Amino acid sequence: MNILEMNHIKKKFDEKTVLKDISLSVKEGEVVSIIGPSGSGKSTLLRCATFLERADDGDISYCGEEVVKSQTGIAIYPEKKIIREAQQNFGLVFQNFNLFPHYSVLKNITDAPICNQKRAKYEVFKEARELLKKVGLEDKENAYPCELSGGQQQRVAIARALALKPKMLFFDEPTSALDPEITAGILRVMKGLAEEKMTMVVVTHEIEFAKAVSDRVVFMDGGVIVEEGTPEEVIDAPKNQRTQEFLKKLG
Ligand code: ADP
Ligand code: MG
């Protein structure tokens, strides 16, 4: 089953076309890495997939349920309530962690499951502590974000996303604000999630990670998917010249 299906997504900012007819599907349990130069539209694609940005045209479905439908060249969006329901399907992890600064680690993780999902407190707290253990922060539940390193904050952000029990996770350059040695720890957590068959879409510059963890690699440039395939196909033996040049520059 496809958890996410996006078809013929188009997006302009003013007169600049940022996504030119992009189609991307993600199957249950699949890990898809999106690579490509800065400005190629990777974040915009993720923001359209997660309804933080509206596509101009195209279709978007989650778990076979159509949320956005193209009609005569325009993307038709449903009411906010339907969008919010669709957003229950996924979790999001950004480059800058985006934790609530005035909430403790535990409250950052438990707030949405308790307040939005109306789940039982004892169960949410129990699971939050298990998640903190999973990301290696079991001793930090009472800390505030400002007391944590960037890597620790990102671990909390991952635990927070998982606490909502999403069917899939989106990551937008989760390690690009972090030092290399810290990055390795975050990538290990993500690798663990991949091994547990978490469905994930990861925008990343970490080519070794993409190679080791992804089922599929998508190379974007200039608002189009230039090439996609297995890591062996796209990273080890890219067919397209633009992919070859991009990978060469990364070294
Ligand atoms: P990437 O994530 O691959 O670096 P982005 O999706 O962030 O690329 O950006 C693609 C293009 O869209 C860039 O030229 C960027 O300047 C432009 N862009 C992104 N967001 C906006 C916005 N909110 N308003 C205007 N232009 C934007
Ligand atoms: Mg980006």
pLDDT tens digits along 188-245: 999 999 999 999 999 999 999 999 999 999 999 999 999 999 999 999 999 999 999 9
What is the whole-number distance in angstroms between the Cα of residue 16 and the centre of ligand 1? 9
Closest CA to 153 of 195, 200, 108, 201: 108
pLDDT at 132 over 80: yes
pLDDT at position 181: 87
Percent of all residues in the chain with a pLDDT value above 70, rounded to a whole number: 100
pTM value?
A: 0.96
In terms of Cβ atoms closer than 10 Å to its own Cβ (0-12, 13-18, 19+), residue 99 is buried
Give me the interface pTM, i.e. the ipTM.
Answer: 0.98
Tell me which residue has its CA closest to atom 26 in ligand 1. Answer: 13
pLDDT at position 15: 92
For a mutational test of ligand 1's pocket, the pick from 33, 34, 35, 44, i.e. the residue with the most ligand atoms closer than 8 A to its C-beta, is: 44
pLDDT at 45 over 80: yes
Q: What is the mean pLDDT of residues 74-102?
A: 94
Which ligand lies nearest the alpha carbon of 47? 1
Q: pLDDT confidence of 97, banded at 50, 70, 90?
A: confident
Angle between helices 121-134 and 150-163 (to 10 degrees): 140
Q: What is the mean pLDDT of residues 124-139?
A: 96
Per the prediction, the chain carries an average pLDDT of: 96
pLDDT at position 27: 98
What is the whole-number distance in angstroms between the Cα of residue 130 and the centre of ligand 2? 31
Percent of all residues in the chain with a pLDDT value above 90, rounded to a whole number: 94
Residues 112, 76, 62, 97, Cα dihedral to 10°: -40
pLDDT at position 98: 87
What is the whole-number distance in angstroms between the Cα of residue 124 and the centre of ligand 2? 32
- What ranges make up the beta strands (E) of the chain? 2-13, 16-27, 31-35, 57-62, 65-71, 74-76, 90-93, 168-172, 199-203, 216-221, 224-229
For a mutational test of ligand 1's pocket, the pick from 9, 13, 220, i.e. the residue with the most ligand atoms closer than 8 A to its C-beta, is: 13
Tell me which residue has its CA closest to atom 23 in ligand 1. Answer: 13
Q: pLDDT confidence of 247, banded at 50, 70, 90?
A: very high
pLDDT at position 250: 85
What is the whole-number distance in angstroms between the Cα of residue 39 and the centre of ligand 1? 6
